[in-house]
Amino acid sequence: MSEPTIRTHHRVCHLCEAMCGVVIQTADNQITDIRGDQNDPLSRGHVCPKAVSLKDIHEDPDRLRKPMKRVRSAPGEFQHVEVTWDEALEAAAAALASTIQKYGVDAIGAYFGNPSVHNYGMLTHQRNLFRHIRTRNRFSATSVDQLPHHLVSLWCYGHMLLQPVPDVDRTDYFLMLGANPLASNGSMWTVPDVRRRLKALKSRGGKLVVIDPRRTETAELATEHLFIRPGSDAAFLLALIHVLFRDDLIALGNLAAFTDGVDEIGQAVCNLTPEWAAQRTGISAADIERIAHEFARAGAGICYGRMGVSTQAYGALCQWAIQVLNVITGNLDKPGGSLFTLPAMDQVSNTSPGGFARFASRGRGLPEFNYELPAAAMVEEISTPGEGQIKLMFTGAGNPVLSTPNGAALDEALETLEFMISLDPALNETTRHADIILPPTSPLEHDHYDIGFHNLAIRNTARYNAPVFDKPEDTLHDWEIFAELGERLSRLLDLEPMPRHPPHQLVDRALRAGPYGEATEWEVSIDKLREHPSGMDFGPLQPSCPDRLQTTDKRIRLAIPEVLQDIDRLVEEVAPVEGYRLIGRRHVRDNNSWMHNHHRLMKGKPRCQLLMHPEDVASEGWQSGMMVTVRSRVGHIQAELAASDEVMPGVVSLPHGYGHGRHGTRGDIANAHAGVSCNDITDEQFVDQLSGNAAVNGVPVQLSVSVA
């Protein structure tokens, strides 16, 4: 018997934004070892538990490997059966063509989930299909997540992807709101080994201040943690800005030469005192004043906020206020503050800056962003009759039934469609409704370059890796699926198809033309990166303004009229009704629903419990372990109660991404850890009115228990 062939492969873990380098060892076609790549200049050998689960994901017996067609098995009953690629692609293309011909292009809906950004073929080749489908009914995970970041960057800096990155390794003071990087490994911020970096900040005498309704894993590590009432972060941030103006602490430094709108902001916050904010936030006026002074007087400071401040009723206002704080203290474009990246494949230079409110949803008039409507409008765009009603839905790498507000209503709406197509390797809570499922190859069966996350990294690096495994026979990569569908649809509609180029060729062109490309000493290309499988390091982030700004006049714009009007909305807001507020949470092993079908990620104590402060539990006369009904405007769920002082009084918390175990899905491990979906009780009517982003944090809920 011959000895197995041992091979070593360099790779990036694609399961979150951190881009941790890994070294994978295989024996023939089996993974035998996964560990951190010590030579990766970004992650420096660090990995989290998700990296070793790459083996589980690749070998998952529930992962679809052949196209599936939905057929009726009995009255009212359906099942999915395997079909050939030709049959599946022809059926999908024919349904797209007939829908367009019968109803028009806006009758096609499309939703893309966050795994799309982790797979460069999904990014490079969607256009091969959707150049023929310029529908207004496009949606994505962006508007249940980071839309406020993009909108504020467009307004202030001129491009939706020009995102300032916290320079944690050189900062003195880190003010963090609604973020938990110890669970997320960074978010809109590619920061591997963030625990060690935050500990280093404290070791050198710096301060980490976390503002959050929950004492998260990051808050446990912080120098100081302050509870804040869900949804009131904008008041806290505006009061900080008020103190800076009131106490003459405005110091833009080099930014003063190219920043507009500072005086207008001072006028807008002149009455938003710490005392005003204290009544709304639960943070004392003295603490607000102290933090404002500490931040202004730090040698280098960062204000950063993520999911908790984006996915609330004032998400865009919060993200704008964060940028204002960094600018008026001179901490933008400064080492130890927040800096813009200069990646080898520069999306800022290669893509459109984006746009806002060029059209609106038919139902509530929610604004588009970058030609996408808010995901919160998806249900009504499917169910509301008339021109532009969605008749066919295309989903790619997404599970919106579990990840968008009022998922129960979307679950019902998807059954009313005339046809549904899913490009997805999973038969999950969303794709179970699909007439055709087109599963791409495993991530380890194709090459990899992180187009998106190098634009958010704390250091300028580049890394390209070849596939770990050969592409199996009778399979297609995701980019090939888009290309095939686009070509077939072109024939049916008598249109010209796009040329078919592998994604690595498109990336290679961008690298050669980029800031470290052929015209530089680096001479970066795909071939050059193949010679450096652990990646190439171009150094720490550097100040780059005003040149890096994408506004037409190369100036920072702070006085955004829409935002200043939103301050008035906040000031005039009626005090919230007394009761409980629901917030989400995530765990380092299972950030999203697509990570729940793998043993290494789901082992350990149950995580899908309703956290509630012990004082609230006692006042209700309840105890841990009871089943509690959580009710909102849109529905109710039952969850196991767990008393925990992690959450502040008046707040309850459920994790994101659960709600498995539904009929017609395929996922033994996920279904064994089914839990409940918090998005069955989040409200699609509860949005950030300025951006249209879903407000899935701070949802008003009522609690009860059944009395036997």
349 within 8 A of 357, measured Cβ to Cβ: no
CB 689 within 8 A of CB 573: no
pLDDT for position 373: 98
Does residue 378 have a pLDDT over 50?
yes
Report the percent of the chain where pLDDT is more than 90.
Answer: 91
Phi, psi of 509 (to 5 degrees): -60, -45
pLDDT of residue 576: 64
Among 65-69, 98-102, 111-115, the minimum mean pLDDT is found in: 111-115
Which SS3 state, helix, strand or coil, does residue 257 take? helix
Indicate the helix (H) or strand (E) that contains 423: strand 419-423
Pick the closest to residue 43 from 432, 463, 616, 407 (CA basis).
Answer: 463
pLDDT score at 1: 60
Q: How far is it between the farthest Cα atoms of the chain? A: 81
Q: Token digits for 336?
A: 């130890």
pLDDT in tens, 254-306: 999 999 999 999 999 999 999 999 999 999 999 999 999 999 999 999 999 99
Provide the pLDDT confidence category of residue 707 given band limits of 50, 70 and 90. Answer: low
* Arithmetic mean of pLDDT over the chain: 96
SS3 562: helix
- The pTM assigned to this predicted structure is 0.97
Residue 229 has pLDDT above 60, yes or no: yes
Q: Which of 125, 49, 149, 121 is nearest to 456 (CA)?
A: 149
Give the whole-angstrom CA distance, residue 310 versus residue 318.
7
> What percentage of the chain reaches a pLDDT higher than 70?
99
249-264: pLDDT as tens digits:
999 999 999 999 999 9
Q: Residue 250 and residue 245: Cα distance in Å, rounded?
A: 6
CB of 82 closer than 8 Å to CB of 436: no
Residue with tokens 């079909």: 83
Residues 161 and 178: their CA atoms lie apart, in Å, by: 21
**Taking Cα atoms as reference points, which of 186, 181, 460, 424 lies closest to residue 343?**
460
- What pLDDT, on the 0 to 100 scale, is given for residue 708? 47
707 Cβ neighbours under 8 A, 6+ residues apart: none
The DSSP 8-state label assigned to residue 551 in this structure reads S
Determine the pLDDT at residue 660: 95
Q: Which residue type, as a one-letter code, is found at position 707?
A: V
pLDDT of residue 5: 87
Return the pLDDT at 577: 62
Region 459-469: mean pLDDT is: 97
Average pLDDT, integer, range 549-570: 97
What phi and psi values does residue 196 have, to the nearest 5 degrees?
Answer: -65, -35
CA dihedral 360, 361, 367, 370 (to 10 degrees): -90
Q: Which pLDDT belongs to residue 364?
A: 94
pLDDT of residue 73: 82
How many residues can be counted in the chain? 708
Round to whole Å and give the CA distance between 369 and 152: 12
Distance CA 223, CA 198 (A): 10
Q: Tell me the three state secondary structure of residue 135.
A: coil
Helix, strand, coil share (%) of the chain residues, nearest 5? 35, 20, 45
Judge whether residue 599 has pLDDT over 90.
no
3 state SS for 616-659: HHHHHCCCCCCEEEEEECCEEEEEEEEECCCECCCEEEEECCCC
Question: For residue 36, which of 60, 54, 56, 59 has the smallest C-alpha distance?
Answer: 54
Region 665-691: what's the mean pLDDT?
Answer: 96
Average pLDDT over residues 105-131: 94
Taking residues 538-559, report their average pLDDT: 98
Give the pLDDT of residue 566: 97
Q: Which two tokens stand for residue 312?
A: 């609330």
Is residue 62 within 8 Å of residue 660, measured between CB atoms?
no
- Sorting pLDDT into bands at 50, 70 and 90, what band is 612? very high
C-alpha distance from residue 140 to each of 114, 290, 411 (Å): 8, 40, 16
Both structure tokens of 11: 């790779």
pLDDT at res. 575: 66
CB 656 within 8 A of CB 699: no
pLDDT interval class at 77 (50, 70, 90): confident
Whether the Cβ atoms of residue 581 and residue 652 lie closer than 8 Å to each other: yes
> Residues 304-348: pLDDT tens digits?
999 999 999 999 999 999 999 999 999 999 999 999 999 999 999
- Give whole-number Cα distances, 507 to 5, 186, 443, 502, 512, in Å: 31, 25, 17, 9, 9
Burial class, 543, CB count within 10 angstroms (exposed 0-12 / middle 13-18 / buried 19+): middle
- Measured on CA atoms in the order 577, 578, 580, 581, is the torsion positive or negative? positive
pLDDT value at residue 480: 98
Domains in the chain (CATH in brackets) are 6-59 (2.20.25.90), 64-105+391-450+464-500 (3.40.50.740), 147-340+548-568 (3.40.228.10), 577-704 (2.40.40.20)
Q: How many helices (H) and strands (E) does the chain have?
A: 25, 30
